[in-house]
Structure 1
């Protein structure tokens, strides 16, 4: 799902648990793109959705990797990432921030959006939590989850801020249900369940030619336009306070 950048990514920050690469943009908007776990055999995670994040080079993009695959639970890693993003924003005169991510990165996009005072958040196939005590049905990524000594992140809904527009897309089915069914229902969370794609929502959006449009609508806080884009290509439903899930 990674795109091809028009310029090489520059390493902005690297420690023993956080790596951040950047692409400069022409406007003072920053998309903080959180990477997923990546392939098990790969030492490094891959930057995803590069083209759609950049919006023809208008946006600055900071690709942030939790290289421990701790779901941002390693003590102090949350604060380290906040500091990295803060330094980038100061260095580039950023006035608007958006968070974006897929899978573990989608979870990151949600939990960091409030702390970063993001205007909007796009989270694809995001976990509600990696903690087995919170989502006991989840059996994937066991090798990584077993390494997490202590789960330090608060409940996901406690991290959400009313000033941010959250756009969350999950695949339907039994595997993803333990996560999407636990997400809160609130006015500023636009939550869509895409049928018959499981954890592969990002791939499905890309194959349908929708990833750029969905990203554009989320960044622009345009839920109606996003729903219209999905309706033209995919089966989906929107979670609401009137729906029993």
Structure 2
């Protein structure tokens, strides 16, 4: 029988849900704004992150959509992820997210031993002085200091391998990934005929689960092959 996603924490600022797996890998999924902040929808990437029940999965939802800038929120999240790793005897930590969640997946590499961070259509920065992206609120003005000026600062600063994918038809998303420096630990994919909803486009094409599974398992060459296959298919 498949395990159910259990809500382990819920308050005004944060929701944590946990899906028990059979192995010692923990995948932390930072949900985006579109995930819904209640239990009305299946959590983003649940099936893909679980990989058929192989992985433990922790879902993290910033209920205020503060990009983790709400006072004290990011420190709480880091502490709770650490506690989950300890409780589950985690041997490998992978993060995953879309949009705001992609920002969180990248940010986690600053404070946690993330092996691979997977970010679909992420905001690389929420600092208006670095990139004025009018799609999103002025987080610093609304909530206070940002948890990081730019996640671009993290590329090449540790052992984390970053996998970042955006839709080529979304100019603002391309502007974000253009902030990322070239580095062997950064794998950047700009996909044709896709906008900010790239993850949904990949899912509709039957590729999303394969891509996430390949990244989680560290199969970089297969990831590139699948992305290239998708790009050829939509461009045909």
Calculate the TM-score normalised by the size of structure 1: 0.86
Mapping of residues 166-205 of structure 1, within 5 Å: 166-173=162-169, 174-205=171-202
Gaps of 5+ in 1: 237-245
Gaps of 5+ in 2: none
Q: Are 2:73 and 1:58 aligned?
A: no
What's the CA shift for 1:146? 5.5
Deviates more, 1:177-186 or 1:192-201: 177-186
SS at match of 2:16: strand
Q: Are 2:222 and 1:225 aligned?
A: yes
Q: Quick one: structure 1 residues 79 and 143, their matched pair in 2 at CA, closer, same or farther if it must change by over 3 Å?
A: closer
Structure 1 runs (4+) deviating above 6 angstroms are none
Structure 2 match to 1:33 = 29
Mapping of residues 1-245 of structure 1, within 5 Å: 6-38=2-34, 43-44=37-38, 47-136=43-132, 138-142=133-137, 147-160=142-155, 161-173=157-169, 174-235=171-232
What's the CA shift for 1:235? 4.5
What's the CA shift for 1:216? 1.4
What's the CA shift for 1:144? 6.5
Q: As a proportion of its length, which structure holds more helix?
A: 2
Contact 1:35 1:101 in 2 (8 A): yes
**Paired residue total:** 229
Contact 1:114 1:164 in 2 (8 A): no
Q: CA RMSD in A?
A: 2.2
What's the CA shift for 1:143? 7.9
Calculate the TM-score normalised by the size of structure 2: 0.89
Contact 1:162 1:188 in 2 (8 A): no
What's the CA shift for 1:154? 3.3
What's the CA shift for 1:65? 0.7
